[in-house]
Amino acid sequence: MLNGTPGPFEGPQWPFLAPRGTYTSVAVLMGLVVVLATVVNGLVIVVSVRYKRLRSPLNYILVNLAVADLLVTSFGSTISFANNIYGFFVFGPTACEFEGFMVSLTGIVGLWSLAILAFERYLVICKPVGDFRFQQRHAVIGCAFTWLWSLLWTLPPLFGWSSYIPEGKLCHRVFRWDGRQSGKEAGFVCSFKYETDWQEVQGVKK
C-alpha cells in the first residue's frame, strides 16, 4: 500500500490510479480482443488441422503463430479482462505471475514466428542461397526453436533471475525493468542486449 492506495492484490485501484470508467473501458476493449482473437485464431487452427491440403510446411509456422496468439488470449487477455472489471489482481499473485510468464512466452513465440515467415520470404524472393524450398523439417525446427528460445528467456524470472511485476494500472504483469539487485539488473540487461548489438553492427556498417 502506498499513500493510501490498496496493493495490487488488496482491492480496486480506482480512484487512486485512474477513474473507474478507465478500468471499465479497458475491460470492454479486452473483452472484444478475447472474443475476436479466440474466433480468428481458433478458425486458423481448426481449418489447418481439418484440411490436409493446407498442411504445407509454411502453414506450420502460421499455425504456430495462431497457437501462440490463442494462448496469449487465454492466459493474458482473459485475465486482464477480469482484472480490469474488478480493478485489481482478482486471482492473486500466483495467477498473475503466471500471466506475466505466459504473455511473455507466447509473445516472443509469436514474434519469432513472424521473423521466420519473413526470413523464408527473403530466401525465396532474393535467393541468397540459390533455389530454396521451405520443407517440413525446416518448419518443425523453426517451431521448436520459437518455443525453446522463448522459454530460455521467460523461465528465469520465475526462479529469481529478475521477475514479473505489476505495471500501469496494476492489472497486468510485465518483465521487471527497474530495481538495482544484481539478478534483476542482469535479466533486464540480457533481455535488451540484442538492441545494443544491432546498433553497434549498424555503426560499423556506416
- On the question of pLDDT at 205 being above 60, the answer is no
Rounded CA gap, 27 and 100, in Å? Answer: 18
Residue type, 30: M
Residues counted in the chain: 206
Domains (range + CATH), the chain: 20-175 (1.20.1070.10)
Measured in whole angstroms, how far is the alpha carbon of residue 172 from the centre of its chain? 12
For residue 145, the model assigns a pLDDT of 96
Rounded CA gap, 96 and 136, in Å? Answer: 37
What confidence tens digit (pLDDT) does each residue in 21-33 have? 888 888 899 999 9
The three-class DSSP label of residue 79 is: helix
pTM value?
Answer: 0.77
What confidence tens digit (pLDDT) does each residue in 128-164 have? 877 888 899 999 999 999 999 999 988 888 887 777 7
For residue 14, the model assigns a pLDDT of 58
Peptide bond into 15 cis (omega under 30): yes
What confidence tens digit (pLDDT) does each residue in 55-112 have? 899 999 999 999 999 999 998 888 888 888 887 777 877 877 888 888 889 999 999 9
- 136 and 60 Cβ atoms separated by less than 8 Å: yes
Segments in the chain forming alpha helices (H) = 20-50, 57-72, 78-86, 92-126, 136-154, 182-191, 193-205
Dihedral sign, Cα of residue 199, residue 180, residue 185, residue 97: negative
Rounded CA gap, 27 and 21, in Å? Answer: 10
Per-residue DSSP letter, 174: E
- 109 and 150 Cβ atoms separated by less than 8 Å: yes
